[in-house]
Structure 1
Amino acid sequence: MSPPRLARTLAVALLSGSCLTAAGLPAAWAQNTGAQNTGAQGTGAQDTVVLDTVTVEGGGGTATPGEGEGSGLETDGYVAKAARVGTKTDTPLQKVPQSISVVSSRQLEDRKVQTLSEALTYTPGVRVGAFGFDPRFDSFSIRGFDVVYNGVYRDGLRELTGNFSIFKTEPYGLQGIAVLKGPSSVLYGGGSPGGIVNLTSKRPTDAPFREIETQVGNNGRVQAQFDASGPLAGNDNVLYRITGLARDADTDLRSVPDDRTFIAPALTLRSDDRNTHLTILGEYADITTGGNATYFSRNGRPSNLESSDPAFGDFDQQQGRVGYEFEHRFDETLTIRQNLRYAHIDADVKYTSIGAISADGLTASRSTGRIVDDLDSIAVDNQAELKFDTGAVAHTLLGGLDYNHVDVDDKIGLGFAPDLNLVTLNYGQQFIASPALDFVDTTTRQSQTGVYLQDQLEYERFVLTLGGRYDWLSQSAFNTLAVTTSEQDDHKFSGRAGLSYLFDNGLAPYVSYSTSFAPVIGNSFSGAAFSPSEGEQEEIGVKYAPSDVNLSVNAALFRITQTNVLASDPNYINFQIQRGEVESRGFELEATTSLAAGLDLTAAYTYLDLEITEGDNAGNTPSGIPAHQFSLWGGYTVQSGAADGLGLGAGLRYLGTSWGDDTNTFRNDSRILIDASLSYDFGKANAKLEGVSAQINAKNFFDKRADSCQGGFCYRDEGRNVIGSLRYRF
């Protein structure tokens, strides 16, 4: 168990019997207790997404800009054509023997996505909302396995995390999102067996592009944003882009604001022959939300009593990153790349929590907590790609060496707050002192070095993908309070083999086997270091992308097994052994299309059979993950007549029942959530208003606020969220 996670466990153990209830803990603490989250934080490698292509957006709405230099995604409206996330090479998705889902820029715009979690709500295999409404973190799992701490990548490089120092994603700064399903350590190193989520930043575009937009919404939401790109000073080899926004907003909870300032500059330099290019990407964000987004629980369910207090409840985070992507093509045979990024996070989390209600029901006793994280990380990925033929077989050979390092200072303090008056509900009216940061004071350093080799062999209609990788990982932790140091080293091989067959009609059946691992930090009672947790997947599927219709249909049948999962030691209390195992079996179906007639559509279905096969709660189903999920989003833009430019959109999200705890004693109810949108392009009515458009989006239109329980802790879904926007694009 890593020191940050150990700190959370110690805090939960101490406070559950004294000043905090489980429901009052920050959700990030509870998120790591479920069976599907076992296998401690890993140190992953990197994916690279550099693809020299320009997207032509389909459908009938206002045109969006091209993907930009080296965006790594090729989409046509909602339909994905290519993404480097699966192979780190320029490979069409039809040839990749693994399931990949893409959320395009068109989808992000149509749904006015506000968080990364929200962006993934219509993606098959992804579970969003297990912890209810919580704007502090983007929490989700893929195929039943948590990926928050070790499965989120930005422009091909892993976003390294600490305890509460987790990068917050601003969707307005994204060009698209690619989700690679299943174990992916062959290219990315240690990580979740569920897969990875790769975020593609907006890049400079060849064509000039500018937009400004204002937004207003419920809960006092006000936002302004801008995006501008194109050649700099008329030089076609120097391209710029700058994206930014400012938001002031409240939420359903009085102690949880949603304020943000964000700025992301980018610059591309390239040679006249386009064989060499360098793209510099940066970001700075100042974000304020709440330190506790829960309600006090009674009888195992959330009440209407907010647990936190605005007098001591802000979660302030400043984050920044700067890096570059470099590529040089020597000729049609050899290409080299290097991607590098430095990132920093300052997180200051303050929260109160209700522990108990007095016997007379007039007051509530409360505690306080403060968590201060300081994180610095660096990640670099070096690649060489070689294309050649051996007889009738064409090869795309990729070799790489990557490295990443993260340094986290984690401090935690615990204290008490004045009682809350339950008659007057005097939230924010009493002074609440900050506790001293003397409960935990730990400095953790993790580093990973990996070498990998992959060959994509094409013979007639067959595409065989073979890859192997070896990683060396190390971690050290210094406990300032106890003046102790711990160290652990791991090394592991991982691989993938897959075969696809390409039919003329666009069908591409495939079969693949892939593995993953995640370092498990800690020791057994005997003092032996834990071995890495291991994952393996068998997947068989089919992809359909006809050449004459802008349509993509993908189906996949899979089985994932994760071993070496930590479980309780039956002989020594408070110690763990590696006897746990979790199996995930399921089926996914996804269809997307964007037609010139103005129709955009994405539909997804997921069936997931999760089981804890060994260890604690063996034979049970991990909590919070439904067996059935279905989603459908469609949009139509009128193409002619009096209503030309009018757009209508609607979405449905169904989540089946799930278990509320890992002992499988109670269930979460199924639910259906409805989303909707209405837009109008004023340029269709008056040429002088070209580029002006308005849009209204409603998420959870019928304001259904259901409870969600995971690991025995319960949360509540966000209520109806309405956003109106006015945009001028020129």
Structure 2
Amino acid sequence: MLSLRPLLLATPLLIGSSVGIAEEKNFAIHIPAQPLPAALESLAEQTGLKPFLVNEVAKGKISHPVNGRYSAHQALTILLQGTGLSYSFSSMDSVVIKAPEQEGDASTLPAVKVIGKAQYDADDPYNVNYNRPNASTATKTDLPIMQTPVSIQVVPKSVMNDQQSIRFEDAVINNVSGIQRSYGTADMYESFIVRGFSSGENNYRNGFRRSMGKFDVSNMEQIEVLKGPAAVLYGRLEPGGMINYVTKKALDVPYYSLQQQFGSYSEFRTSVDATGPLDRDKTLLYRFNGAFDTGNSYRDIVEHERIFIAPKLTWRPSDRFEANFELEKRHDNYMDDYGVPVSGNRPISGRRTLFTGDPAFRPSQDNTLVYADWSFKFNDDWAIRHKFQWDETDIVFGGPGPNDRVNGDGRTLGRWVITGTANRRSYGTSLDLSGKFDTFGMKHNMLVGGDWFFFNQDMPDNMFASSDWGDPINSNFDINNPRYDTIDLAAVRSIAPNWFWRSRDDWYGVYFQDQITLWDKLHIMGGGRYDMAGYGGFGDTSWEATQAGFAMQHENKFTPRVGILYQPWEWLSVYGNYVESFGSNNGRNALTGGTFQPQTAEQYEIGFKTEFFDQRLSTSLAYYHLTKDKLLTADLSTPDPQDQIAIGEARSQGIEVDIKGRITDDFSLVSTYAYTDARVTKDAGGLEGKRLLNVPEHQASLWGTYQFTEQFKVGLGGVVVGKREGDSGNSFQLPGYARLDAMAAYVISLGKTRLTAQVNVYNLLDKEYFTGSTSWLPTANVGAPLSALGSLKLEY
């Protein structure tokens, strides 16, 4: 690129592009306030046009910042604001930038004023919009949300950036209605409750299932939450909904970011983001995201360390073909933390720092993920796409957990100890053909495809031991006089493995979907899936016996989905749907030796969606009735109280409201509300009528930011969660709570770079609260007290 500075004294010259192109084509432009000649040079670089040549009147002038998607015409207008200079496009396709002429000068050009608004690409790193009009999770096509007859919510990275959500769960729970955290084995994996039902320890990445994982937000572009059963396109999963995060794309415009975060309890996190083309023709692109995260906790003894890298390559030799390759490597050191124990019908209070584990045990996870896809557009209407993912995690278990509630003396607690390893690996692939065509006045958006998914978990050498069970390991604990490093590690290691498990999922599925549009207002969606699924889970007294006794159960099932949406005006859509689901494995029947039938579900839903202010603000309201069948319950036909039968049922129904976007150019917000009535409706073991655990009847959130100036932004928000049942028998409860958070950020322009200084404060009122209870233990996880997280982020 030819430098402008030596040419400032030259006469005005042409841009090198036609007036029509300059005025009509929009570019992603990011130029901080700086000396005008440098700003014009940057504009030339970012638009891909030939260099501007300007006269010396530009000397000493400071440009106005430009951040958004504009034509060159619009960007010039913004750049020159407040400089007193004007410009025009001549018949020779040139741009003249000059000072105001003296009165009476015949050559004076009239003032040119163009009003344009910022229009961002969805994957633009500078995109500040809270709303996203499109999402692919619900349909596997990039259909506008306003035309999709299901409930789909999107959390973009702009919201995560403002809230400094460095944990995946915070980004989801704080910004989507009707979601709570589900806890299984301490904090070993991230799982959620959606519409009253646990997600079953499964989340999705770019449409592929990830089982029992921990995730880093550094390479996430946005999070998409599909409410209700999603088995039609994705196979067997829980009926409440699916949470799918979309990774960042490699861009053809260079972008670099270095962020340093530091906060309470020695939190220290460094993350990098770099992307751009690797060749002159921009056919080969790259992106690299990485993070190093370490710190302690408000919980005694608890600490963590993470190393995460995610390189990506994109090959785009033409506008019809694209291939992507991604690699992820993650290493986690952490401590199993089950929260605080329960005493009576409540978690113990005033003890949010109490850790009941032991620092001698150091669990870890090592994950490797490989992802690849390619797509080819036959023409503007038809395309084919193939995707593949390999995901493997090696886990080292280690640590104590409580046997039960606090003993009758009000201070002692029995604990068990677990050690061992596990390997989890999965493979998945899918092939989709999509196309658009018209028949008899109906517009079709068709998808046909198939997928295969394999998951295997081996736990060959786990050991459980407890002083309460007669093992000489000194595992008891006094909550009033906590002492650590007291467990006899030598005795623990001398105990032979005594718990073994193998589980496997292996299924093939074929599916179809057609989205029919009539009169540009009525949208009808119909589809179905046929699954050929194999699954099984088994444990025995030794690893050899477990391997020998393991068996797969096979089942084929068709699941339909239908929906209808009417859009009388562009800003309003009214919809309804009916969906069935093929659910998770119920485990093995100890009486017959076979496997129980899988769970199934069906949902009815109606609602409406709106979009205002040129798609900047969206709202949605949904009422749903969701039933989950074939839950395990006591088999009263046999004398053994341990025998079970799959005839149980649970029902969840409720109302959900989500509002997100920009009210004005300066005011953005996210607001949610959910009323959830989730309870057991059929059970032979005494649970009928009980509420489902960890599901509040009412919950809401509100987050808003205001941009006072181009540089200064503040934000304030909070969450309100009602009382929740702590276990399936409703024998103890977690009290409701309210939490208040705030932020402030200031942007400083440093030449072509910008530096953002930001601070977020969480739980401003320092309220004690519980985020959820463990699904199989009487414990409750404690929310963080008053804390802060600062950030310095340099972008170029």
TM-score (norm: length of structure 2): 0.78
> Are the counterparts in 1 of residues 200 and 237 from structure 2 also a CA contact under 8 Å?
no
In the other structure, the counterpart of 1:573 is: 641
Q: How far did 1:663 drift?
A: 3.2
Partner in structure 1 of residue 8 of structure 2? none
1:525: how far off? 3.1
Hey, what's the Cα distance between the residues in 1 that align with 2:774 and 2:484? 28
Equivalent positions of 1:283-682 (< 5 A) are: 283-303=328-348, 304=351, 305-312=354-361, 314-353=362-401, 366-411=415-460, 412-416=462-466, 417-418=473-474, 425-428=482-485, 432-433=489-490, 434-435=492-493, 436=495, 438-460=497-519, 461-476=521-536, 480-482=543-545, 483-518=548-583, 519-523=585-589, 525-527=591-593, 529-546=595-612, 548=614, 550-570=616-636, 571=638, 572-594=640-662, 597-615=665-683, 616=685, 617-639=687-709, 644-682=710-748
Q: Does 1:103 align with 2:165?
A: no
CA distance in 2, matches of 1:360, 1:549: 60
Answer yes or no: is the 8 Å Cα contact 1:682–1:689 preserved in 2.
no
Write out per-residue CA displacement over residues 350-396 of structure 1, whole angstroms, 9 at most, x where no aligned residue.
00245598999998665421141112211001011122111200111
Aligned to 1:698: 761
Q: Which amino acid aligns with 2:378?
A: F
User: Residue 763 of structure 2 aligns to which amino acid in structure 1?
Assistant: N
Matched letter for residue 372 of structure 1: T
Q: Secondary structure at the match of 1:120?
A: helix
Counterpart of 2:168 in structure 1 is 116
Residues 256, 290 of structure 1: 8 Å contact kept: yes
The answer (yes or no) to whether the contact 2:715–2:743 under 8 Å persists in 1 is: yes
How far apart, in 2, do the equivalents of 1:484 and 1:123 lie? 45
Cα distance in 1, alignment partners of residues 561 and 126 from structure 2: 24
Shift in alpha-carbon separation, 1:526–1:359, aligned structure 2, 3 A: closer
Shift of 1:564: 1.0
2-side partners of 1:167 and 1:278: how far apart? 26
Please identify, of 674-683 and 516-525, the stretch whose mean Cα deviation from structure 2 is larger: 516-525
Give the whole-Å Cα distance in 2 for the aligned partners of 1:171 and 1:224.
12
The answer to which of 518-527 and 532-541 deviates more is 518-527
Instruction: Output the CA distance in 2 between the equivalents of 1:88 and 1:68.
Output: 22
Structure-2 change in CA distance of 1:524 and 1:548 (3 Å): same
Point out the more displaced range, 375-384 or 67-76.
67-76
Q: Deviations over 1:319-361 (max 9, x none)?
A: 0101112110011232100010111101112002455989999
**Quick one: distance in 1 between partners of 2:642 and 2:544?**
21
Match of 2:323 in 1: 278
Alignment gaps of 5+ in structure 1: 1-52
Query: Structure 2 vs 1, CA of residues 716 and 444 (structure 1 numbering), >3 Å: closer, same or farther?
Result: closer
Cross-structure match for 1:262 = 308
Please say if residues 122 and 603 of structure 1, whose CA atoms lie closer than 8 Å, have aligned partners that are also in contact. no
**Deviation per residue, 1:491-538 (Å, 9 max, x gap):** 111110011111224101011111101133322634564222111111
Of 62-71 and 457-466, deviating more is: 62-71
Question: For the structure 1 residues 485 and 459, does the alpha-carbon distance in structure 2 shift closer, same or farther, using more than 3 Å as the test?
Answer: same
Q: Tell me, in whole angstroms, the C-alpha distance in 2 between the residues paired with 1:133 and 1:699.
A: 26
SS of structure 2 residue aligned to 1:622: coil
- What pairs with 1:25-40 in structure 2 (closer than 5 Å)? none
Give CA-to-partner distance per residue, 1:230-268, whole Å, 9 cap, x none.
111434111100000112211122342121010000110
How many residues matched? 661
Structure 1 546/396 Cα, relative in aligned 2: closer, same or farther at 3 Å?
A: same
- How far 1:715 sits from its partner (Å)? 0.7
Q: 1:97·1:499 contact (CA, 8 Å) conserved in 2?
A: yes
1-structure distance, mates of 2:416, 2:600: 39
Distance in 2 (alpha carbons) for counterparts of 1:73 and 1:630: 29
CA deviations on 1:373-428 (whole Å, 9 max, x unpaired) are 11221100101112211120011111101001112211321235335685874323
Displacement of 1:620 in angstroms is 2.0
The 8 Å contact of residues 505 and 547 in structure 1, kept in 2 or not, is answered as no
Distance verdict in 2 for CA 1:130–1:402, change over 3 Å: closer
Letter in 2 for 1:87: T
Separation (CA, whole Å) in 2 of partners of 1:394 and 1:205: 32
Q: CA distance change for structure 1 residues 154 and 73 in 2, over 3 Å: closer, same or farther?
A: farther
1:219 corresponds to 2:265: yes
Q: Which amino acid aligns with 2:222?
A: G
1:158 aligns with 2:204: no
**Which deviations, in whole Å up to 9, do the C-alpha atoms of 1:682-707 show, x marking residues without a partner?**
22xxx548411111112222232224
User: Is the contact between residue 266 and residue 280 of structure 1 (CA under 8 Å) also seen in structure 2?
Assistant: yes
**Deviation per residue, 1:278-298 (Å, 9 max, x gap):** 011111010111123333443
1:715 to 766, 780, 789: 780
Aligned residue in 1 for 2:50: none
* C-alpha separation in 2, matches of 1:692 and 1:69: 22
C-alpha distance in 2 between matches for 1:79 and 1:346: 37
Relative distance call for 1:62 and 1:475 in structure 2 (3 A) is farther
Cα distance in 2 between the residues matched to 1:281 and 1:168: 18
Q: Which letter does structure 1 place at the counterpart of 2:356?
A: S
Tell me if the contact between 1:355 and 1:366 (Cα under 8 Å) persists in the aligned partners.
yes
Instruction: Specify the SS of the correspondent of 2:218.
Output: helix
Rounded to whole Å, the distance in 1 between the matches of 2:793 and 2:649 is 51
Structure 1 pair 680–463 and aligned structure 2 pair: CA distance change class (3 A): same
* Structure-to-structure mapping, 1:183-262, within 5 angstroms: 183-262=229-308
Aligned partner of 1:49 in structure 2 is none
Which residue is 1:8 aligned to?
A: none
Q: 1:359 to 1:91 in 2, by over 3 A?
A: closer
**Greater shift in the superposed pair: 328-337 or 118-127:** 118-127
Query: Which amino acid letter does the alignment assign opposite residue 406 of structure 1?
Result: F
In the TM superposition, what whole-angstrom CA distance separates every residue of 1:1-23 from its partner, at most 9, and x where no partner exists? xxxxxxxxxxxxxxxxxxxxxxx
Instruction: Between the two structures, name the one with larger relative contact order (CA 8 Å, sep ≥ 6).
Output: 1
Partners of 2:227 and 2:719 lie apart in 1 by 20
Q: Which of structure 1's runs of 4+ aligned residues deviate more than 6 A?
A: 53-57, 61-76, 356-364
* Distance (whole Å) between structure 2 residues aligned to residue 376 and residue 689 of structure 1: 44
Aligned-partner residue type, residue 288 of structure 1? N
C-alpha RMSD of the superposition? 3.1
Which of the two has greater strand per residue? 1
- Please tell me whether the aligned partners of residues 55 and 74 of structure 1 are also in contact (alpha carbons under 8 angstroms): no
Q: 1:584 to 1:353 in 2, by over 3 A?
A: closer
Question: 2:725 & 2:784 partners in 1: Cα distance?
Answer: 22
Amino acid at match of 2:534: S
Once the two structures are TM-superposed, the CA of residue 201 in structure 1 deviates from its matched residue by 1.0
